[in-house]
A and B are shown apart, each in its own frame.
Chain A
Amino acid sequence: MTIFCIIPAYNESKNIAQTVTSVLSYVDKVIIVDDCSQDKTIEEVGKINNEKIKILRHPINLGQGAALQTGNNYALRNGADIIVHFDADGQFLAEEISQVIEPIKNGEADIVFGSRFLNIKSDIPAFKKNIIMPLAKLFNFIFFGIKTSDPQSGFRAMTKEVAEKIKIENNRMAHCTEILAKAHKYKFRIKEVPITVLYKEFGQKFSGGFRIIKDLFFRKISG
């Protein structure tokens, strides 16, 4: 099974080299989708000499969701069997890729979401853990019928069939809910596995949550 890892990156010159190097031994191909970074992200990746790495570059900044879809398109055209989405900021642990793709390899699931809230291993900021995430979970359940433990998981793996069916239309951060919602809608076999998140910064803020809701709302009414 050919495993592609998609890493969307925007102004990640500080972390990108370490992140890319860490995932190399767990996958067959690493696709870095640079979302028109203004810093030296591309140069940092260019320093790593490895034929597994492919850099794609958006000519303008579109958002993380758009970068993931660009990566998915590339992976599907180039023979991916399993596609892993991984953040560039170094918050995820590369060694956990094996655990995330395991249920797909075993034929137990079509799409696997890494969850920060199953057997909590991460030091999640209290406000995020107790206020933002429960509200996001409630939102996902009321509007999309989604019951997963982590409403905004960015670490996920899917089969090529799932990637062919789920087209990410939300360019910005609402893609997390969109992927979850579409996976439910198309009745794919979903599984969650516990992951560790190393919080360097707070991550998604409360205001970001409102932006996600706004994006989802307008995407919904515009069809």
Chain B
Amino acid sequence: MTQQVIAILILIFFVFKLGLEWKKKSITINEFVFWLIFWVIGVFVIAFIKPIDRLVMDLGFSSSGINLVFYVAVLLLFYLIFRMRLRMVKMEKDITELSRKIALK
């Protein structure tokens, strides 16, 4: 129970930071909504970890719900890093082409 409260407080802190970024206009409305939904789902998962544990058992997994959440989170992070890497490579390529065009003008 204490662990759940601490985890939820940390997530609330993230939501607060997200609000600050939104207020500073450093993120777009789409980013704000995405991360808000992301953290709110996180809060629900932690708050209802026991029913999720039961659901995980019913689905045939031997580990607890929190472990499954971690597995999914790690997979999601790897995917996001992959997407980010692709976008960075494309941006670097575009910047190089643009700089080259300026240099050769």
Contact = CB atoms under 8 A, between A and B. Distances in A.
Contact of B99 (A59, A74, A77): A59
A69 B100 contact: yes
Interface stretch (B1-9, B45-53, B67-75, B84-92): B84-92
Interface in B86-105: 86, 89, 92, 95-96, 99-100, 102-104
Size class of A's contact patch?
Answer: 10 to 19
A171 B94 CA distance: 12
B100 A57 contact: no
A62 interface: yes
A66 B85 contact: no
B104 A56 contact: yes
Contacts, number: 35
Contact of A70 (B85, B95, B104): B104
A153 to B, nearest CB: 23
A33 interface: yes
A58 interface: yes
B86 A66 contact: no
A222 B85 CA distance: 9
Contact of A60 (B85, B99, B104): B99
Interface of A: 33, 56-60, 62, 66, 69-70, 73-74, 77, 171, 218, 222
Interface of B: 85-86, 89, 92, 95-96, 99-100, 102-104
Given A56-B103, A58-B100, A222-B89, 18 more contacts: A56-B104, A57-B103, A58-B99, A58-B102, A58-B103, A59-B99, A59-B102, A60-B95, A62-B95, A69-B100, A70-B100, A73-B104, A74-B104, A77-B104, A171-B92, A171-B96, A218-B85, A218-B89
